[in-house]
Amino acid sequence: MALRTRWIVGLLVVSLLGIGWTAFAADTPQQGGTLIVATGADPAGGLDPECVMNNEAAFIMATIYNRLVEYAPGSVDIVPGLAASWDISDDGLVYTFHLQQGVLFQDGTPFNAQALKLAFDRLLDPSFPNYYANRKGIDSYVPGTLEANVASYSVVDDNTFKLVLSHPYAPLLQDLAMVWFGIVSPAAVEKYGAEVYKHPVGTGPFEFVDWVPNDHVTVKANPNYWRGKPYLDEIIFKQIPEGSVRTMMLQAGQVDVMMNVPPESISVLDKDPNVDLYRMTALLVNYVQIPRMVKPFNDIRVREALNYAVNKQELSQYLYQGLAKPMQSPIPPGMPDYQPLSPDFSYNPAKAKELLAEAGYPDGFDCNLYTYANPRSYNAAGGKIATALQGYWKKVGINVHVIQLEWGSYLRTVRDPDFSDGMCMSGWTADCGDPDNFLFYLYYGKASNIPHAMTGRPEIDSLIEQERVSADPAQRTTLIDEALQKVWQDAGDVWLTNGVLVRATTAKVHGFQLDPLSMFFYADQIWKEK
């Protein structure tokens, strides 16, 4: 079979991002078969969308759950999901959702307005017996958003649900389309309580079968899926941390789909006639998070020095094989309100040394850098990036001790409220197509995953608070632009790279689609040659 390398490009009608569609094979889709997907890490934290830990979990959950509203294939356009349509009041405060009818959860429970109310109770009512925060040690994106903006919610009738906001909130529909707002069966929540993360039940195209930690997750076709039964019989998400092993298994036909193709494998796979490579400019950022409230990082000159000491262009060209570009803003290209910011933090080790001397560290200092080994959508090089950074910083006198942890342990360590033991590798793949998804979750002091990283910046916090509730698009753009500029100039992170999402399949896989959020939406459209 001839080589097919596909770049997903095109023009999005709402002009958020260049996207397109993968070409479907001309052959008639075949029913049945097992798709084996090679992932780089275990779904840490399980498969409850309201209690999450990583994108590997989200990738799998995209096949199990639907959301109230969803994204059009390959884009961040909002389209109907479990809501067939919706109305928004002129003042932007009242959202009335008209729900799909005849939809069942995978356990047979009807989806209706009462089921949706129970989902909101779980997110917003601390007195609810299965309130999401009863499970400790988890992250949750959507509840915080809703708590800050929702005044009330109610059942109008079986098929109509009303959401009333306390003030306008521009990103609401984008937020509700995120994987993290997958609607969970109320019967499953009642049955399993906080343990529902081990027993996920949604309305999506695939049903949960089993999860063997650090080995695999299996889902099977939902025969009653409201959009029609999927082509595949089942999908097995196989955890294979080592990129070279995933590559060999793909070429040998032992796996069908490979997430997060490591840069060093691209040239090999490009030459394989039995492999299809898919590339897409993705909404992601790759950076180092700095504990900016802790010495010596509380001095902005030190933070700037850390940035100037790293050759991001070299990293992009060699470590990422040209599939990355140096960051020039806290948000990625393709996101609304993106523009390159100043200073550009181009490689300048002499300036880094000068800044360190001014800050009182002419001989540098010692510190820790926590990292992970497995690849991420925003960092296909995995742990290799930490070694490269260690080398750059050594040249300006900063002696970095790299501490590499297994992914789950890494997350628990750096997200502990008391963590302040050094820098840590970090990154973000957009959950939705609104810049607030970066500003709020990464740079708002009260929401940042790592408490020591982004606190103590009241000006930035105020701008973010204002842009979230602005009903005037022009005013909101001004607020976002000012917040981004201040975040950038504060150098609270070591800004590294934006990148390209690269995934691979065997040539027997058809209907596979990329999307800028790096998820696995529309898996029901995939089929496999027998």
Q: Name residue 238's beta-bridge partners.
A: 38, 216
What pLDDT, on the 0 to 100 scale, is given for residue 128? Answer: 93
Task: Examine the domain organization and report whether 137 and 237 are in the same domain.
Answer: yes
DSSP 341: -
DSSP 319: I
Cα separation, 464 vs 393, in Å, equals: 32
**C-beta separation of 25 from 12 below 8 A:** no
Task: Examine the domain organization and report whether 57 and 93 are in the same domain.
Answer: yes
pLDDT (mean) for 84-91: 95
Task: Examine the domain organization and report whether 144 and 45 are in the same domain.
Answer: yes
Task: Examine the domain organization and report whether 324 and 246 are in the same domain.
Answer: no
Residue 263 — pLDDT band, cuts 50, 70, 90?
confident
Cα separation, 441 vs 449, in Å, equals: 7
Sign of CA pseudo-dihedral 57, 63, 68, 72: positive
Cα separation, 279 vs 263, in Å, equals: 12
Q: Is the pLDDT of residue 19 over 60?
A: no
The one-letter amino acid at 111:
F
What pLDDT, on the 0 to 100 scale, is given for residue 144? Answer: 67
Q: Is the pLDDT of residue 9 over 70?
A: no
Please compute, for residue 508, the number of CA atoms within 13 A of its CA located in the half-sphere on the CB side. 17
List the CATH number of the domain containing 203.
Answer: 3.40.190.10
**Burial profile 264-291: b = 16 or more Cβ within 10 angstroms, e = fewer:** bbbeebeebeebbbbbbbbbbbbbbbbb
State the residue range of the domain holding 89: 4-256+508-528
Q: Is the pLDDT of residue 192 over 90?
A: yes
Cα separation, 395 vs 310, in Å, equals: 10
**C-beta separation of 30 from 182 below 8 A:** no
Q: Give the tens place of pLDDT for each residue, 275-323.
A: 999 988 889 999 999 988 889 999 999 999 999 999 999 999 999 888 8
**C-beta separation of 33 from 232 below 8 A:** yes
Task: Examine the domain organization and report whether 383 and 464 are in the same domain.
Answer: yes
Sign of CA pseudo-dihedral 410, 393, 493, 174: negative
Please compute, for residue 10, the number of CA atoms within 13 A of its CA located in the half-sphere on the CB side. 16
Task: Examine the domain organization and report whether 385 and 332 are in the same domain.
Answer: yes
Is residue 261 one of the residues assigned to a domain?
Answer: no
List the CATH number of the domain containing 481.
Answer: 3.10.105.10
Q: CA dist 386 to 15, 425, 462, Å? A: 35, 8, 33
pLDDT averaged over every residue in the chain? 89
pLDDT (mean) for 412-427: 87
Cα separation, 172 vs 431, in Å, equals: 12
Task: Examine the domain organization and report whether 476 and 516 are in the same domain.
Answer: no
Q: Give the tens place of pLDDT for each residue, 163-182.
A: 999 998 988 999 899 998 99
**C-beta separation of 304 from 310 below 8 A:** no
Is residue 266 one of the residues assigned to a domain?
Answer: no
Both tokens assigned to 488: 């950038």
Task: Examine the domain organization and report whether 112 and 180 are in the same domain.
Answer: yes
Is residue 411 one of the residues assigned to a domain?
Answer: yes
Q: Are strands 284-289 and 493-506 parallel, antiparallel or unpaired?
A: antiparallel
What pLDDT, on the 0 to 100 scale, is given for residue 14? Answer: 33
Both tokens assigned to 243: 């990129």
What pLDDT, on the 0 to 100 scale, is given for residue 273? Answer: 95
Is residue 274 one of the residues assigned to a domain?
Answer: no
Task: Examine the domain organization and report whether 232 and 378 are in the same domain.
Answer: no
Which of 324, 342, 336, 340 lies closest to 378, judged by CA? 324
Give residue for tokens 């521009």: 170
Residue 236 — pLDDT band, cuts 50, 70, 90?
very high
Task: Examine the domain organization and report whether 473 and 516 are in the same domain.
Answer: no
Q: Give the tens place of pLDDT for each residue, 458-504.
A: 899 999 989 988 888 899 999 999 999 999 999 999 999 998 888 99
Q: Is the pLDDT of residue 12 over 60?
A: no
The one-letter amino acid at 351:
K
What pLDDT, on the 0 to 100 scale, is given for residue 217? Answer: 97
350 or 518, greater pLDDT = 350
Radius of gyration of the chain (CA): 23
Q: Are strands 150-157 and 160-165 parallel, antiparallel or unpaired?
A: antiparallel
Task: Examine the domain organization and report whether 216 and 94 are in the same domain.
Answer: yes
Is residue 265 one of the residues assigned to a domain?
Answer: no
Please compute, for residue 117, the number of CA atoms within 13 A of its CA located in the half-sphere on the CB side. 14
Highest mean pLDDT among 136-145, 337-346, 442-451: 337-346
Q: Is the pLDDT of residue 451 over 80?
A: no
What pLDDT, on the 0 to 100 scale, is given for residue 75? Answer: 84
Helix (H, G, I), strand (E, B) or coil at 261: coil
Cα separation, 65 vs 208, in Å, equals: 10
Cα separation, 125 vs 184, in Å, equals: 16
Q: What is the DSSP string of 224-280?
A: T-TT---S-SEEEEEE---HHHHHHHHHTTS-SEESS--HHHHHHHHT-TTEEEEEE
Residue 516 — pLDDT band, cuts 50, 70, 90?
confident
Percent of the chain beyond pLDDT 90?
65
Task: Examine the domain organization and report whether 233 and 88 are in the same domain.
Answer: yes
Residue 3 — pLDDT band, cuts 50, 70, 90?
very low
pLDDT (mean) for 330-349: 93
Is residue 370 one of the residues assigned to a domain?
Answer: yes
Q: Give the tens place of pLDDT for each residue, 21-34.
A: 344 445 789 999 99
Residue 53 — pLDDT band, cuts 50, 70, 90?
low
Q: Give the tens place of pLDDT for each residue, 398-411.
A: 999 999 999 889 98
Tally of domains in the chain: 2
Which of 402, 406, 349, 398 lies closest to 374, judged by CA? 406
Is residue 291 one of the residues assigned to a domain?
Answer: yes
What pLDDT, on the 0 to 100 scale, is given for residue 449? Answer: 55
pLDDT (mean) for 201-215: 97
**Burial profile 29-40: b = 16 or more Cβ within 10 angstroms, e = fewer:** eeeebebbbbbb
Cα separation, 435 vs 464, in Å, equals: 10
Which of 481, 479, 428, 482 lies closest to 450, judged by CA? 428
Is residue 272 one of the residues assigned to a domain?
Answer: no
Highest mean pLDDT among 67-81, 134-148, 444-458: 67-81
